[in-house]
Structure 1
Amino acid sequence: MKFATALLALIGTAFAETHHFQWNATYITGNPDGLADVDDLIACNGEYPWPDLRVKKGDRIIIDLYNGLGTDNCSLHFHGLFQHSTNQFDGVPGLTQCQIPPGETLTYNFTVPDQVGSFWYHSHTQGQYMDGMRGTFIIEDPDHPYKDHYSDERIIALAEWYHDNISTLTNSFLDLYNPTGAEPIPQNLLMNGFMNATINVESNTTYLFRIINIGGFVSQYFWIEDHDMTVVAVDGVYVEPNTTSMIYITVAQRYDVLVTTKNTTDRDFAIMQKIDDTMLDIVPDDLLLNVTNSLKYAEGNSWPKTYLVDDYDFLDDFWLTPLDDYENYDHYDHQVTIDVVMDNLGNGVNYAFFNNITYVTPKIPTLGTVLSANNDSDSLNAQIYGSNTHAIVLQKDEIVEIVLNNNDTGVHPFHLHGHVFQVVERGPDYSDEDGPIPYNESAPYIPRNESMFRDVLYVRPQSYFVIRFKANNPGVWFFHCHIEWHLLQGLALTLIEDPIGIRENEEPLSDTWKNVCTSCGGFVGNAANNTEDFFNLQGENVQVKPLPAGFTARGIVALVFSCIAGILGCVAIGIYGMADIPNMEERVVQNLSVQEREFLENEAGGVEEGESGENGSSGRYSDEIQNKKYSDEINTEYREINENDK
């Protein structure tokens, strides 16, 4: 058996191809939704959208990525790929590589020996892929179990779109004046890079649609007018056929579905995208929640009408069953329990936390710290990887269980690099409860005999999920929310899986990898860039200090507006106080009501119009009146703030 397996592997290697791409990332002017020109659309070799990559199982991929973005860094991550022994090309700055500075090139060089299906690639730099730096990555399977069920394929890449670039949006998002952490609202939804897309089909034909959400924020409901979809794979995992009329797809998830077209060509049908508007803090009046695309049967047919539905009865992916024999783990060796919290730190900005830690990038890539540690024993110590990387060291081959409790009221899709994981349990939506309901390990529960496996799973509001995987892929792997706004807020942790195995099995660091890191500060040392004492973290990157006790988001809002109102009041008082206004006292008193005049007369001992009291009393009256005016304005602002909070 071992000989046969080795022989098949050798044959596969002999027929494997090498695909070599030379990419230059640059900014261009574009208009993906047809509604607004943007000058900072990221293009590949001057073209948008970025190319769809299509390779075969066992092929080698070489991409020379040149950063032509002027003053901005970049990177490239291949979402869902295991990167066995090529962890250095997983593409996460601060974990497995350094940022690629402008004018530099990093060559990504890896094979895909044991994966097939629908994947994608994107920049992993500061939400940058939402400006266009993303594309699909298809690994063809010569032994596709459903190859006799369809005649052709179509790629459907979904995303949202903003008219402002991500750098501008981030500056206003991670800001004192956004203390509740409200995410920027997108302008539109895109399909295959543009709004109102067309998918050409022939009648009476079954297609494999590869539906990939390459967006950075909103989940989408997806359905096709009068056409069913049979799900046959998710996140590169084949599943038993399951037919549905609608899917719910979060960012970074992938669904392969079979769709059979009609026998007629006399009309086209609507392909619908719908924003999950429960993820939005507000829904602007001009936001188009439903976007219509065309399943086009023939030229000359009119554009299909928008096809709305009364309810969103979508497939629950938890109940999908893998087609292949994945090992289900009925126990765990290492349990990691993490609580998701969104809160403010001392600068007033809203951050995201796993167990009170908001992720902060180390000064040295964590992979560099693993490889440069003085010895194997030091590499097993989580301390050297930093206080704010939320580093967790995993032992070789142990069964790891991650329990995630969502203390937030929103949906969060979480992605694990380097693995697909077993979905053990996912709690219901507890958004109507008074508070979050955490996972109770002692509660009665009957697990599935054949659990679902995938690499992106969403948690419901104020609920939880439980996943398991085997630590059999040595590497530094990210576990993070794939909503880019939440990743920018720090909702991530680092898994250092089998550090000794990394040191033994990782391919030698490439020259371009080392050159890029050298230009960014190096790749040797601990998280604080200390090469002498790996346990001295002085000077490391850490999170902002916490707020003083008792401060809340509402308190921050009140404080901000109080400061603004106070400053305006002082400015106005100063202007009026220094101004040379003829007969100012008379004009002020004439505008007072009877009650206000009586009040002033009582306070000043009966000062008449135009008469000045001791110590410049008339000036004091002006200040009191002016302060009353601004006090009323402040009270009005507070009432509006409180009403908005409600």
Structure 2
Amino acid sequence: MRSIGLTTLFACLVLLIRWAAAGQTHEYNFTTGWVRRNPDGMHEKMMIGFNGEWPIPDIHVNKGDRLIVRLTNGFDDQPTSLHFHGFFHRNVDENSNQMDGPQMVTQCPIMPGDTYVYNFTVDNQVGTYWMHSHSGAQYTDGMRTALIVHDEDEPFEYDEEMIIQLSDHYHKPYYEVMDEFLTRYNPTGAEPVPQNILFNNTVNASISFDPDTVYLLRFINVGNFVSQYVYLEDHEFTIVEVDGVYVTPNTTSLLYLATGQRTTVLVHSKPESNKNYALMQIMDETMLDVVTPGLILNRTNQVLYNGEAPFADEYFIDSFDGVTNDFYLTPLEKTALLPDYDYQITLDVKMDNLGDGVNYAFFNNISYVAPKVPTLVTAITAPKHLVKNPSIYGENVNPFILEYGEVVEVVVNNYDDGRHPFHMHGHNFQVVQKSPSFLEDPSGNGEDGEPIPYNSSSPLMEFPDFPMRRDTVVLEPNGHIVLRFVANNPGIWMFHCHVDWHLEQGLAALFIEAPLQLQANEALTENFKQVCSTGDVPVAGNAAGHVDDWLNLAGLPRQPDPLPEGFTWKGYVAFVMSCFVGIWGLQTIVHYGLSESIQDDESMYNKLKELLEEPAESN
């Protein structure tokens, strides 16, 4: 009996240790729906909330915890999905690739009334993340929130933490904005200009500081389009984390966050509480094709030390040259530059019109179009001898096959004069090169610059010994970036611009990583299959839905045909202007021609009348 008791006690102790190591389980039941709100105080609109609530509450977990989110589609007429931005989903025993979220990539769209369960362990990742819809541009209307993974071994100390979500804001619903954007009547592809920028889902906000206190501020740009600068009057930021990666502390006065990026800073408050200070958020005006009348580029938020003191005045930045360049940040955990690549992927970014007159975005002249079957389904159900054949995934998803364990280098050359924040699912990457903007000629003569692609034989910067790692990096206008990572996470991982308008234009590629290992690790869950069934999406087959002949791509959704030669957006503009001038000329001719004819007729009539009224001469 004594021996049995000790054995039982030991077994219980082992189970207790394992339970403690496994962490807690956080379960959420969310139903999407429209909630009427007025975030900027200027226009009431319908925002997308969970369970009738908006803003959606932040989620907090600890490293090693399990997160279960049951997402029910409460919309009447549109699908939805949920992406956990920045998470790797590496756990091979959890069917983890199905938890990533982008519809028709790693899952079927969740149709109205249906529920999809996201269930995964937050393993070996800490820091600042967020979650958002990955269906259309839904998160533009508020389907987003912060997701923080706390770490008991944080390498810095602070007294209090705050989450600050930055975003742009549109008064029209996202689907109306998108319809007005992706149309032949917008041939230049000018991105929709937001009506405002928000600070924690409102404007003219405030946060409170106590004197002589250290604050941890987690900044997240959860917007669709516009990057933002952040400046705190007469205070300094010490950057300690970006995109879930701890960095060697770096002190600055000015931050820059593109959409999808996160930057966590320490701020030591003033010793006195005799005044308040301006916390400025500033739109990156260079991203806008036009500054619409009344648009406020410079938003003033308050850091309140003293509720009885006057509010701080608006603060203006004289120059943005001093903003921190993340290329020169160093991870706290110094991982050496990865060795020379095994596989290099070069992606050329261009924006152009196709035959329907709409302006699209391209990697290597391919604009992403979703397949008929989620790419994960194709990878799992394909015959082993074909699973590494990129053609079965459809050329219009830009598929790249990665072998397990190889060092992959991704070169992105920008042949566009816009700024693009690129985000990678399933990994963070080393930033090996990050060029400046080349909108202006580097010679300094003031002329427009030309795109400068990456030249491996003559890189612009020295390769860093310990490169910065993150999951979202900004590609400058006409410039280039070079990224490296190890393909050690089998799955289907999207690489795309996180300006969501550009993603809707097609600026995306898929990395089909270690597909043989993926087949061995991953099986479609019953919930996955049921959601696909509701949406009438096949759960086997190639990109076109064929299972009898895997190389038959008949019926594959593809980008529109190209424009006839010579027709570009400039050609469209010239054509429209020519028509306008021609019509105006015809109107002018007709107007003056008719008026002269009328005048001639009146003159003849008057002369005839005079002759008739003259007295006849006598014979």
TM-score of the superposed pair, with normalisation by structure 1:
0.86
Which of the residues 558, 561, 580 maps onto 1:542? 558
Is residue 274 of structure 1 aligned with residue 289 of structure 2?
no
Task: Tell me: CA distance 1:585–1:464, structure 2 relative to 1, closer, same or farther (3 Å).
Answer: closer
Q: Give me the identity figure in percent.
A: 46
Which residue matches 1:441? 456
Q: What is the identity, as a one-letter code, of the residue corresponding to 1:21?
A: Y
**Aligned pairs for 1:112-131 within 5 A:** 112-131=122-141
Show CA shifts across 1:284-334 (max 9, x none).
231100001111223333332111121112111111111013242130000
Which of the residues 18, 22, 31 maps onto 2:25? 18
Contact 2:21 2:64 in 1 (8 A): no
CA displacement at 1:344 relative to structure 2: 0.5
Task: Tell me: CA distance 1:327–1:585, structure 2 relative to 1, closer, same or farther (3 Å).
Answer: closer
Show CA shifts across 1:224-253 (max 9, x none).
111100001100000001000001111111
Is residue 336 of structure 1 aligned with residue 345 of structure 2?
yes
Task: Tell me: CA distance 1:60–1:565, structure 2 relative to 1, closer, same or farther (3 Å).
Answer: farther
Is residue 415 of structure 1 aligned with residue 430 of structure 2?
no
Contact 1:177 1:560 in 2 (8 A): no
Contact 1:60 1:111 in 2 (8 A): yes
Which residue matches 2:614? none
Separation in structure 2 between the aligned mates of residue 117 and residue 448 of structure 1, nearest angstrom = 24
Which of the residues 46, 52, 59 maps onto 1:46? 52
CA displacement at 1:609 relative to structure 2: 7.3
Q: What is the identity, as a one-letter code, of the residue corresponding to 2:43?
A: A
Task: Tell me: CA distance 1:14–1:187, structure 2 relative to 1, closer, same or farther (3 Å).
Answer: same
Which residue matches 2:547? 531
Aligned residues: 579
Is residue 555 of structure 1 aligned with residue 561 of structure 2?
no
Task: Tell me: CA distance 1:566–1:417, structure 2 relative to 1, closer, same or farther (3 Å).
Answer: same
**Aligned pairs for 1:239-278 within 5 A:** 239-278=247-286
Q: What is the identity, as a one-letter code, of the residue corresponding to 2:273?
A: T
Separation in structure 1 between the aligned mates of residue 296 and residue 139 of structure 2, nearest angstrom = 22
Separation in structure 2 between the aligned mates of residue 385 and residue 499 of structure 1, nearest angstrom = 12
CA displacement at 1:559 relative to structure 2: 3.1
Q: Quick check: 133-142 or 295-304, which moved more? A: 295-304
Which residue matches 2:195? 187
Task: Tell me: CA distance 1:591–1:70, structure 2 relative to 1, closer, same or farther (3 Å).
Answer: farther
Is residue 499 of structure 1 aligned with residue 515 of structure 2?
yes
Contact 1:24 1:66 in 2 (8 A): yes
Which of the residues 129, 145, 148 maps onto 1:138? 148
Q: What is the identity, as a one-letter code, of the residue corresponding to 1:382?
A: P
Separation in structure 1 between the aligned mates of residue 540 and residue 63 of structure 2, nearest angstrom = 34
Q: What is the identity, as a one-letter code, of the residue corresponding to 2:380?
A: L
Which residue matches 2:612? none
CA displacement at 1:562 relative to structure 2: 5.5
Q: What is the identity, as a one-letter code, of the residue corresponding to 2:450?
A: G
Is residue 58 of structure 1 aligned with residue 58 of structure 2?
no
**Aligned pairs for 1:346-425 within 5 A:** 346-374=355-383, 376-425=384-433
Which residue matches 1:634? none
Q: What is the identity, as a one-letter code, of the residue corresponding to 1:33?
A: D
CA displacement at 1:14 relative to structure 2: 3.6
Separation in structure 1 between the aligned mates of residue 194 and residue 424 of structure 2, nearest angstrom = 26
Separation in structure 1 between the aligned mates of residue 126 and residue 422 of structure 2, nearest angstrom = 21
CA displacement at 1:514 relative to structure 2: 1.4
Separation in structure 1 between the aligned mates of residue 16 and residue 358 of structure 2, nearest angstrom = 53
Separation in structure 2 between the aligned mates of residue 213 and residue 495 of structure 1, nearest angstrom = 25
Show CA shifts across 1:354-377 (max 9, x none).
000000000100000011112x22
Show CA shifts across 1:90-132 (max 9, x none).
0001110111111111111111111000000000111110101
CA displacement at 1:561 relative to structure 2: 5.5
Contact 2:213 2:269 in 1 (8 A): yes
Unaligned runs of 5+ in 2: 1-13, 442-448, 608-619
Contact 2:336 2:465 in 1 (8 A): no
CA displacement at 1:44 relative to structure 2: 1.1
CA displacement at 1:591 relative to structure 2: 6.7
Q: What is the identity, as a one-letter code, of the residue corresponding to 1:275?
A: M
Is residue 300 of structure 1 aligned with residue 308 of structure 2?
yes
Separation in structure 1 between the aligned mates of residue 108 and residue 585 of structure 2, nearest angstrom = 49
Is residue 485 of structure 1 aligned with residue 495 of structure 2?
no
Which residue matches 1:99? 109
Contact 2:423 2:496 in 1 (8 A): yes
Separation in structure 2 between the aligned mates of residue 8 and residue 385 of structure 1, nearest angstrom = 44
Q: Secondary structure at the match of 1:487?
A: helix
Is residue 517 of structure 1 aligned with residue 532 of structure 2?
yes
TM-score of the superposed pair, with normalisation by structure 2:
0.89
Separation in structure 2 between the aligned mates of residue 298 and residue 54 of structure 1, nearest angstrom = 30
Separation in structure 1 between the aligned mates of residue 29 and residue 119 of structure 2, nearest angstrom = 12
Which residue matches 2:11? none
Separation in structure 2 between the aligned mates of residue 10 and residue 396 of structure 1, nearest angstrom = 33
Is residue 458 of structure 1 aligned with residue 474 of structure 2?
yes
Contact 1:217 1:483 in 2 (8 A): yes
Which residue matches 2:616? none
Separation in structure 1 between the aligned mates of residue 25 and residue 489 of structure 2, nearest angstrom = 24
Which residue matches 1:164? 172
Which residue matches 2:486? 470
Which residue matches 2:78? 72
CA RMSD of aligned residues (A): 2.5
CA displacement at 1:504 relative to structure 2: 1.0
